[in-house]
Amino acid sequence: MFPVSVVIITKNEELNIRDALKSVEDAGEIVVVDSFSSDRTVGICREFTDRVFQHSWEGFARQKQKAVDYARGPWVLILDADERVTPALKAEIADIISGTDCSGFYVPRENYFIGKWIRHGGWWPDHTLRLFRKDRGRLEVRRVHEKVVVEGRTGYLRTPLKHYTYRSISDFTKRMDIYSTLAAEEKMKTAGKTGLFSLTARPLATFVKMYFLRLGFLDGVRGLLLAVLYSYYTFLKYAKTWEKQL
């Protein structure tokens, strides 16, 4: 048995969720918090676990915290519907939590874009804190880019989580509109007046950093596409912030 409580949030994820759940079907517990999906997501989830709960959407951080709160095990692993846990990662997790004094662990992610693992541009190793003691960790409430905050020491795992994100350019642009709006709302809490500098220099800096400084050009056409798309995302984020400040 994989000795952790795996928690997942869902909303219309019928294309992804079965493979995610199959990758952790031997977990001590699987908890799903669904935001009233209108497709087959809930039915698929119930094939793997009876701990499926439905709550109206309250944002990524609050939704994931609900799932963590339902977990009954001492160790929690947060998994997204487009991620997969490999046997090697499960073995490393089972081994390391058996005798550690750490409160949480950062997991590297292999991020795939249109079917290919992206190794540059800041996409690897993409460490994210996903494994933690339930009584020592919580989700920091933010509109976007939510993260786990733990009390105590943290460590790093070696084996990556597979992340099949952005299966197409259309997929990226659809989510870009949502995430840039959330990012603009988050920026409104702290941002000064947004002007021409943010609308011009920051998108350009994003492109230069991803494509040149972080060697995105080594990922070929995909590296170029990602640098352009992320620079446009940066532009949208600041453009929407500017619009909200009018």
Coil vs helix vs strand at 201: helix
Show Cβ contacts of residue 239 under 8 Å, excluding neighbours closer than 6 positions: 199
Tokens 């662990």 correspond to: 105
User: Which tens digit of pLDDT belongs to each residue from 134-156?
Assistant: 999 999 988 778 899 999 999 99
CB 28 within 8 A of CB 3: yes
User: Which tens digit of pLDDT belongs to each residue from 187-202?
Assistant: 888 767 899 999 999 9
* % of the chain residues with pLDDT over 70: 100
What's the first-to-final CA gap in the chain, in angstroms?
Answer: 55
What's the pLDDT score for residue 192? 79
Q: Provide DSSP, 49-112.
A: -S-EEE-----HHHHHHHHHHH--SSEEEE--TTEE--HHHHHHHHHHTTS---SEEEE-EEEE
Give the H or E element holding residue 162: strand 161-164
Alpha-helical runs (H) found in 78-195 = 87-96, 169-187
Q: How do 75-78 and 109-113 pair as beta strands?
A: unpaired
Q: Which residues of the chain have pLDDT under 50?
A: none
Q: How do 161-164 and 109-113 pair as beta strands?
A: parallel
In order of their start, the domains of the chain are 2-164 (3.90.550.10), 169-244 (no CATH)
